[in-house]
Amino acid sequence: MPKLDEIDLYAGIESPLSRWDPRVKLTSILLLIFSIVLLDDLIPAALGLILSFLIILISRIPLNFVLERMRWVFLFVLFIFIVLSITASRGVEKGALVALRAFSAILLALAMLSTTRFEQVLKTMEKLRVPNKLIQTVLFTYRYIFLLADESHRMFTSLKARGFRGRTDMRTMITIGNSIAMLFVRSYERAQRVYEAMISRGYSGVVNSLAEFEIKNVDYVKGIIVIIFAVSLHVI
């Protein structure tokens, strides 16, 4: 069964990244991501990838976790690389550029998000004035996707307990179709009840929290270092 903790698995690891104020961390690393993604030359992009990898090392996130996350990105990028190198002029160079940018962006996003507790990410979004509707969408997805996963898990367990085996026939299709439809109905009803419960506690369309972050000088220093790198990649 999926556990909610997985998403915050490495948020507790002590590192300069996890100690970093999330607001400064998210803004400066996002800047670095944009900077790398906008690079047009191979050499700065390669430097960008090396930099991203260094940041991963500093974050102390276990490398096999990182590699596992990269696997799917790798397949995806490989596909683009092959297509580009066959079809485009100077395709190998373009493909390599796409690959370097993609890997850097994923590494940095991992470093940024895995070292921050999810609730902190949401609160940071709130502090950074991200539209509240968007924050709520992320919040509810996060909170209820696991509940939905539990529910579907239970449903399929009960199907199995009654002798259901997945085959490639019509009956299997119908059974699975019905189960999924049932999940939709239940989610709809749950959404209704969650909304009613929120209204009962004074919900008026905005979810606020009492988040308070304290930015220290060292947080700014880290941010400035990252931004200097982001700028210098374009200068060299």
Partner 1 sequence: MPASIELKNLGYVYPDGTEALRNISLRIEEGESVAVLGPNGAGKSTLLLHLNGILRGEGTVKISGSDIKGKETRELIGDIGLVFQDPDDQLFSTTVFDDVAFGPLNMNLSKEEVRGRVASALKRAGMEKFEDRCPHNLSFGEKRKVSIATVLSMDSRIMVFDEPLSNLDPRGKREIISLIKELKREGKTIITAIHDVNIVPEIADRIYVLNKEIIGEGTPREVFMNTKLLSNSNLDIPVITQFFEVLSCFGYDTTDIPLSIDEAISHLTRTIEKDGGHIHLHIHEHTHKEINRLKRRHEHQ
- Which residues here bind partner 1, judged by CB under 8 A? 3-5, 118-119, 122, 139-140, 142-144, 146-147, 190, 193-194, 196-204, 207-210
Closer of 163 and 202 to partner 1 (Cβ)? 202
Which CB atom, from 98 or from 183, has the smaller least distance to partner 1?
183
Going by the DSSP 8-state scheme, the letter that residue 4 receives in this structure is: G
- Which tokens is 113 given? 């998000």
Q: Which is nearer to partner 1, 162 or 201 (CB)?
A: 201
Phi, psi of 117 (to 5 degrees): -65, 145
Cβ at position 201, least distance to partner 1 in Å: 4
Nearer to partner 1, 94 or 186 (CB): 186
Question: Are residues 49 and 104 in contact, defined by beta-carbon separation less than 8 angstroms?
Answer: yes
Closer residue to partner 1 (CB): 43 or 199: 199
Nearer to partner 1, 198 or 225 (CB): 198
Query: Could you tell me the CA-to-CA distances from 80 to 37, 70, 72, 97 in Å, in that order?
Result: 16, 15, 13, 11
Closest approach of partner 1 to the CB of residue 231, in Å: 34
**Is residue 81 within 8 Å of 93, Cβ to Cβ?**
no
29: nearest Cα among 230, 235, 236: 230
CB of 24 to partner 1, least distance (A): 21
Gyration radius from the chain CA atoms: 22
d(CA 98, CA 77): 8
Nearest CA to 233 out of 28, 96, 38 is that of 38
CB of 141 to partner 1, least distance (A): 11
Closest contact distance (angstroms) between CB of 210 and partner 1 is 6
Q: Which two tokens stand for residue 2?
A: 């999926």
**Least distance to partner 1 from the beta carbon of 15, Å?**
20
Nearer to partner 1 by Cβ, of 142 and 156: the residue is: 142
Reported as half-sphere exposure (CB side, CA atoms, 13 A), residue 59 has a value of 28
Question: How long, in residues, is the chain?
Answer: 236
Query: Least separation, in Å, of the C-beta of 121 and partner 1?
Result: 9
